[in-house]
Structure 1
Amino acid sequence: MPHVMRAPFRDQRGVAKYRHEVLGVVLRAGPVGSPGRPAELQVLVRRRDREPFAGKFALPSGPVEVTETMEEALARHLREQLGLETLRHCEQLATLSDPGRDPFERTIATAYLGLVPWEDARPRESGARWTAVAELPDLAFDHHLVVGQAVDRLRGKVSYTNIALALAPPEFTMATLRGIYEAVLGREIDVTNLSRVLRRRGQIARVGTLGEAGARGGRPPSTWRFTEDSYRVTDPFAVLGPGRNPTV
Structure 2
Amino acid sequence: MSDTTVRVEVLTAVFQVREPEASAPVLQVLLRRCEKVGWSLPGGPIVDRETLGAAAVRWLGTRAGLTRVAHLEQLSVFSDPDRVPEERTVASTFMALVPSDIPAETGADIEAEWFDVDDLPPLAYDHRDIVDLARARLAGKLSYTNIAFALAPSQFPMSELAEIYGAALGYPVDSTNLLRVLSRRGVVVATGTVGRTGGKGGRPPALYAFADTHLRVTDEFAALRPPM
Taking structure 2 as the reference length, the TM-score comes to: 0.93
1:65 corresponds to which residue?
Answer: 47
1:30 CA displacement: 3.4
Q: Which residue of 2 aligns with 1:101?
A: 83
Q: How many residues align?
A: 225
Could you say which residue in structure 2 is the equivalent of 1:207? 191
Residue in structure 2 matched with residue 169 of structure 1 by the alignment = 153
User: What is residue 24 of structure 1 aligned with on the other side?
Assistant: 12
Larger Rg: 1
Work out whether residues 30 and 179 of structure 1, in 8 Å CA contact, stay in contact via their aligned partners in 2.
no
Q: CA shift at 1:245, angstroms?
A: 4.3
CA contact 1:47–1:57 (8 Å) conserved in 2 = yes
Corresponding residue of 2:121: 137
The answer to whether structure 1 residue 153 and structure 2 residue 137 are counterparts is yes
1:196 and 1:211, CA in 2 relative to 1: closer, same or farther beyond 3 A? Answer: closer
Match of 1:116 in 2: 98
Which residue identity lines up with residue 173 of structure 2 in the other structure? Answer: I
Q: Which amino acid aligns with 2:101?
A: E
Structure 1 gap segments, 5+ residues each? 1-12
Match of 2:31 in 1: 45
Deviations 1:85-121 (A, max 9, x none): 1221111101101111111101000000111112322
State the Cα RMSD in Å: 1.8
1:10 alignment counterpart: none
Match among 209, 212, 222 for residue 206 of structure 2: 222
CA spacing shift, 1:245–1:132, aligned 2, 3 Å? closer
Q: Equivalent pairs: percent with the same residue?
A: 44
> Which letter does structure 1 place at the counterpart of 2:210?
F
